[in-house]
């Protein structure tokens, strides 16, 4: 269920053209006349002025054409080469869909509503849309496990007794070519393409603007890069910089930011609580990679293939593919082991319903969304909301037909407690869309529903939302349910109280058990 959920309800409807008879000519114009207001430009400094970009080392240039199979235009990974598992090529098994949060985004067919379509239900009208999107594919985290794996394997390779054979023979000459944290070329392309697709789906809502829209992101380099690539695709690569205002919110410790709430939630960063998910995942790795360890270790002398190193090798498959276009690590593991890796990357105990800080971290964004949908300024500052930015109608407008916020995988997981397959919830370039609609079509919105990577999400877990084959919930019921949910979350306790990790069996909705 969408536990910490979101909500939408803006009284904007698609503007009807004066001429709508068959064969008439219609031409819309954006930006709206007179929308440019240079007096507010100072409120939106660019990335060089904001700073706090985080690590930005780049990697080697890809050369997929030298060693990889021809590019595949199928599905969601062009221009990457589709990897195979150790079981061989199988068109029915897509390795890239089993990388968890490292998977490229793909369209989800259903979250339990098999007859629901992302298309607005017949007879209804679109009033507004809110998009919460994840950054695109990136290089791995700075100083992470796979960088240490690379250093260890290179150190071992120069020592006497090292020998790599059979499927691992490539390790004898393998070099680490990845940067850290910034977007890969594929990551940039994904966000640009998402911007183009979003324009096709929701561009008519631009007719409801009387001023330039404000889109938000955080200050990390990959976040800014994702937001700009999306905007270039959504608007126009030559004019996008003047078509909207890009708000860049500082992402750093002790800066309130609903798009990066973990920086002001100490318990999320504690070993006992914040890393509980990693502890549970390690237990599972010892099970699902046992056969891989037995199979692969004889191919490598002078280097101990521990379970954690095997996990790093699976991660290298994902990271090298989205960075270089291919990876020899992919076909070392069987389909069953890739399914195990998918489960290893589930976020249930780290930033989902199984962690007591999860709901608290999602609270701030939900409060912002409620504020936008009800056109009511935030007046209580008891979460990760930023009282400086969110109290200004310039940096936090309440009257936009389109909102776009760029964030991280963990935040989408904090907010969207849905069927827990992480590649469906928070892959690279993930998109959580709230559609505010009127049924029947009218000027006032009547319903709301959510799409997560194109799959319609049932809202029956929200108090007041009834079962509906299209995933619709009456807007007043949804708003009431969100107010109720906000009142249930004890942000101060769950993020700041001195407690140890409770029994995970007692945590089902991302809160410390009462």
Q: Which two tokens stand for residue 492?
A: 């101060």
Q: In angstroms, rounded to a whole number, what is the distance separating the alpha carbons of residues 97 and 335?
A: 11
Instruction: Tally Cβ neighbours within 10 Å of residue 447.
Output: 25
> For 425-466, what is the HEC assignment?
HCCECCEEEEEEEECCCCCCCCEEEEEECCEEECCCCCCCCC
Query: Can you tell me whether residue 202 is helix, strand or coil?
Result: helix
Query: Can you tell me whether residue 63 is helix, strand or coil?
Result: coil
Which of 149, 225, 147 has its CA nearest to residue 179?
147
Q: In angstroms, rounded to a whole number, what is the distance separating the alpha carbons of residues 294 and 225?
A: 42
Instruction: Tally Cβ neighbours within 10 Å of residue 60.
Output: 12
DSSP 404: E
CB contact set of 220 (below 8 Å; sequence gap of 6+): 52, 53, 54, 181, 251, 260
Q: In angstroms, rounded to a whole number, what is the distance separating the alpha carbons of residues 84 and 311?
A: 17
Strands 245-249 and 431-438: unpaired
Could you tell me if 424 and 441 are in contact, meaning their C-beta atoms sit under 8 angstroms apart?
Answer: no
463 annotated active-site? no
509 annotated active-site? no
For the chain, the first-to-last Cα distance in angstroms comes to 20
Catalytic residue among 225, 263, 390, 494: 390
CB contact set of 301 (below 8 Å; sequence gap of 6+): 161, 162, 163, 164
DSSP 324-388: HS--TTGGGS-HHHHHHHHHHT--HHHHSTTSTTHHHHHHHHHHHHHHHHHT-------SS--TT
Catalytic residue among 98, 135, 245, 408: 135
Could you tell me if 267 and 496 are in contact, meaning their C-beta atoms sit under 8 angstroms apart?
Answer: yes
Q: What is the dihedral sign for C-alpha 394, 398, 404, 410?
A: positive
Where do the DSSP E strands lie in 192-288? Answer: 214-218, 245-249
Where do the DSSP E strands lie in 22-172? Answer: 125-134, 163-164
Is residue 300 within a helix (H) or strand (E), and if so which, with residue range?
strand 300-301
Q: In angstroms, rounded to a whole number, what is the distance separating the alpha carbons of residues 388 and 393?
A: 11
Is residue 57 within a helix (H) or strand (E), and if so which, with residue range?
none
Could you tell me if 445 and 7 are in contact, meaning their C-beta atoms sit under 8 angstroms apart?
Answer: no
Instruction: State the catalytic residues.
Output: 135, 390
């Amino acid at each position: 269920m969408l536990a910490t959920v979101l909500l939408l309800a803006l009284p904007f409807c698609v503007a009807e053209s004066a001429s709508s008879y068959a064969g008439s000519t219609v031409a819309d114009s954006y930006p709206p006349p007179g929308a440019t207001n240079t007096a507010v430009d100072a409120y939106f400094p660019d990335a060089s002025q904001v700073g706090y970009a985080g690590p930005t080392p780049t990697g080697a240039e890809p050369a997929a054409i030298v060693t990889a199979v021809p590019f595949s235009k199928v599905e969601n990974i062009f221009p990457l080469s589709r990897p195979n598992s150790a079981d061989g090529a199988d068109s029915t098994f897509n390795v890239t869909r089993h990388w968890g949060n490292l998977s490229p985004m793909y369209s989800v067919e259903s979250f339990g509503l098999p007859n629901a379509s992302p298309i607005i239900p017949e007879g209804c009208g679109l009033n507004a849309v809110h998009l919460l999107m994840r950054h695109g594919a990136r290089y791995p985290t700075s100083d992470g496990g796979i960088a240490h794996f690379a250093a260890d394997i290179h150190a071992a390779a120069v020592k006497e007794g090292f020998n790599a054979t059979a499927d691992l023979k490539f390790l004898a000459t393998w070099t680490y070519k990845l940067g850290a944290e910034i977007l890969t070329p594929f990551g940039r392309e994904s966000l640009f393409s998402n911007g183009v697709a979003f324009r096709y789906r929701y561009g008519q809502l631009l007719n409801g603007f009387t001023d330039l829209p404000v889109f938000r992101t955080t200050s990390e380099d990959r976040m800014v890069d994702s937001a700009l690539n999306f905007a270039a695709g959504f608007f126009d690569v030559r004019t996008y910089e003047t078509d909207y205002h890009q708000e860049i919110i500082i992402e750093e410790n002790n800066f309130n930011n609903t798009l990066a709430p973990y920086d002001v939630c100490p318990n999320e960063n504690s070993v006992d609580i914040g890393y509980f998910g990693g502890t549970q995942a390690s237990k599972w790795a010892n099970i699902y990679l046992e056969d891989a360890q037995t199979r692969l270790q004889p191919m490598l002398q002078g280097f101990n293939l521990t379970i954690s190193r095997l996990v790093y090798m699976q991660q290298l498959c994902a990271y090298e593919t989205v960075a270089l276009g291919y990876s020899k690590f992919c076909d070392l593991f069987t389909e069953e082991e890739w399914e195990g890796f998918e489960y290893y990357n589930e976020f249930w105990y780290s930033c989902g319903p199984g962690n007591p800080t999860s709901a608290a971290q999602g609270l701030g964004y939900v409060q912002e969304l409620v504020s936008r949908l009800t056109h009511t300024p935030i007046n209580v500052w008891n979460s990760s909301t930023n009282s400086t930015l969110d109290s200004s109608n310039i940096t936090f407008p309440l009257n936009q037909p389109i909102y776009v916020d760029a964030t991280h995988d963990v935040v989408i997981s904090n907010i969207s407690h849905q069927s827990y397959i992480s590649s469906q919830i928070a892959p690279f370039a993930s998109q959580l869309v709230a559609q505010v609609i009127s049924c029947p079509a009218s000027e006032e919105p009547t319903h709301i529903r959510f799409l997560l990577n194109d799959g319609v999400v049932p809202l029956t877990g929200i108090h007041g939302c009834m079962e509906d084959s299209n995933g619709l919930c009456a807007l007043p019921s949804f708003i009431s349910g969100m107010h109720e949910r906000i009142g249930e979350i004890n942000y101060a306790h769950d993020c700041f109280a001195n407690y140890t990790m409770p029994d995970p069996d007692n945590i089902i909705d991302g809160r410390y058990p009462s």
